[in-house]
Structure 1
Amino acid sequence: MKSQVAYFNGLFSAGSKSVEKKQSSVPNPFSVMVRKEVADQVRSWRFIILALLILLTFLGSMYVSMTNISKAVANAGDPDRLFLYLKLLTTTDGTLPPFHVFIGFLGPLLGISLGFDAINSEQSNGTLIRLMAQPVYRDSVINAKFVASLIVVSTLFLSLNLLMIGGGLIITGVRIEPSEVMRILCFVVLSVIYVSFWLNLSILLSVKFRQTATSALTAIAIWLFFTVFYQVLLNIIVKAFLPDPDVLSQDQLLAYNRIILTFLRFIPSQLYTDATTTLLMPSVRSLGPLTMEQMAGAIPSPLSVRESLLVVWPQVSGLIAATVVCFALSYYLFMRREIRT
């Protein structure tokens, strides 16, 4: 009798272990959706075209930097001349802008292209209803869309900067300093955050509008407004309402310049430009106008990585806050959206 009970207990334990093994072998639905979205993004023609465009601008900027790097390093009056690999990202002769300027222009297009049809295309094709019929959480869908695009953008920017470091090591043979590695990694993270803002904005518009063309045109219109028309309108308003700069004292002129800079920093591209300029140029100590009294006694020496991060932290926190707000709004609207119609 005892042997029979032990036999059945052994069968039961073996059966339970096999069930647990099968359950553990079942992949997580979120990871499956992320892998599927990454594969779709990488194979899409719009990403391939934009990635090739960013690669061409990167190669062009690196070529201009390599041809002018000897002049930049030989400039004794430049406190950043010893940072060779940072000079590869900032040196130019006027024919092509530096690489971070190209990212400030092409990064929004990359983010918009990855997210403008994230939700509404799924619903118009009828795949969203079939997806929700599976045993997955609703928030996993929008989270997978964002995480997959974030992985693609991070891999692209990290690969380009590693290519720059490797090319610099092969061509120049100069050892890269740890502070330069930290600044380049911070530049990669900042670029990913900047593109993530436009990605979340386009996902928000994809949740809000049912037509992909409407969400794409709205996102491009917002990008054009902040890139071109905002500064034009700000200059017109400044000339119309502020007094003549010739009759102002030094303190009043500094106050008005700070006001103009404050309004300019509502633009995500301005925040990105200020932050990347400070990170890639260690000698930059301030992002606003300074008086002669404030500059008196200042030694033209590069800042440490920590000090540069403290200078640009308001810009970085502003980009992060804008990104989180756009994602929270898209998350809220998607969770309350009716998908059966």
Structure 2
Amino acid sequence: MTIRRMAVLLSISTVLLTTACSAPNIQQVFAQEDAPVHIFIDGVSQELAGSKPFKIGEITMVPVRKILEPLGAEIKYQDNTMDALIKIQNGQEIIVHSGSGVGENAGSRYILFNGERKDMGSPAVLINKETFVPISFVETIGGTVHWISMGQTVDVNLPELNEVTTQDVRIFTNDGWAIPGNSGMKINWGSKYVGQMNQSDKPNGQGTLLSQKLDIVYTGTWLNGLPNGEGTVNLSSDGKIKIKGFFNKGEIVSGVLSANGSAFFEGTFGRQSLKEGALILPDKRVFKGTISDDQKIGVGSLTNSEGKVLYEGKIGFSGTIVTNDFSYQRLEG
């Protein structure tokens, strides 16, 4: 990989963000310094009129347009989904969800780089119609970052990118379409799909559905726009609660439910609820049986870790079983 050097001299202004930073009237207070901001690209100084780097806490934010100029970037901001669509040399493509401002209106910490989701560590933001990304963005696309002079100067090395074949990406602009079945999945405005599609541009084959902010919703096989076959659905945006199993036209037929990487239920499911199977209880005993639609009563057996039956009958549940945050008690009689 050939490296193109870009020295970025940053006299960084600290942005003090008020709590009233709602789009489109973003309230900003800049604690500005007198020293100018300079970017040197291939030894040539570049002016950053209206696009000064700044800090959010300890995170340095830089204008993605200026950072990618040496790679011949063409950037289009898609207003209706709040995404920056970027094309660079040799067919490389980047999608940054910029959001509509800062704070709660900030974009995503993830990008799609040639269809592959990558983590920048901090979210992108949109300020004065300019997309800013954390300086770690450079490392996310294969470059390097070297800090000089007490955090005020950074030496950035951009990669010379080879020609690639990018994965197909579809950005949806239909709001609130619920996928039929019991998974609770929805395709919202700005949702994104990466993978195989049929002639009608519907997910078909292997692919991944992502939220507007590029959180993974479902990854697996599809048939004519519906999850079908083996796949994994995330029940929480952070991916800590998920079901891995078998789907039939959007319906979860059976699978394994896990929290923070540990499986705690295997069986069948209702709409974001458990129906019948084996549930590991908070005390590590195992309940095997059926669970009511309201998730409050179970009928079956209680066994220890060796499989010995300790009790048969009804179990009462409190809390939220599907997130593994619950307690139980025997219901005698």
Specify the TM-score bucket, using the shorter chain as the normaliser: under 0.3
- TM-score for the superposition, normalised by structure 1: 0.22
- Considering Cα pairs closer than 8 Å and 6+ residues apart, tell me whether 1 or 2 has the greater RCO: 1
Q: Which has the higher helix share?
A: 1
- TM-score for the superposition, normalised by structure 2: 0.22
Q: Which has the higher strand share?
A: 2
